[in-house]
Amino acid sequence: MSAPQPGISPEFAAGLREVMLQGLAREMETTKKVLAAIPDDKGDYRPDAKARTARELAWHLASCDVQMTDEIADQKFDMEPRYKEEPKSFAEMANWYESNFQRAIGRVRAMTPEQLCTPVDFYGVFNMPGVFYLTFVNNHSIHHRGYLAAYLRAMGAKVPSIYGGSADEPWQG
Query: Cβ(62)–Cβ(34) under 8 Å?
Result: no
| Mean pLDDT on 105-117 | 97
Torsion sign, CA atoms 124, 79, 70, 40: positive
Lowest mean pLDDT among 10-24, 74-88, 93-107: 74-88
Task: Enter the DSSP assignment of 12.
Answer: H
- In tens, the pLDDT along 144-169 reads 999 999 999 999 999 999 999 999 99
Query: Which pLDDT does position 102 carry in this prediction?
Result: 97
Query: Which pLDDT does position 2 carry in this prediction?
Result: 54
Q: Which of 89, 150, 127, 155 is nearest to 8 (CA)?
A: 127
Specify the pTM: 0.92
DSSP E strands: which ranges in 22-152?
119-122, 126-129
Query: Cβ(5)–Cβ(129) under 8 Å?
Result: yes
Of how many residues is the chain composed?
Answer: 173
- In tens, the pLDDT along 5-54 reads 456 999 999 999 999 999 999 999 999 999 999 999 999 999 999 999 99
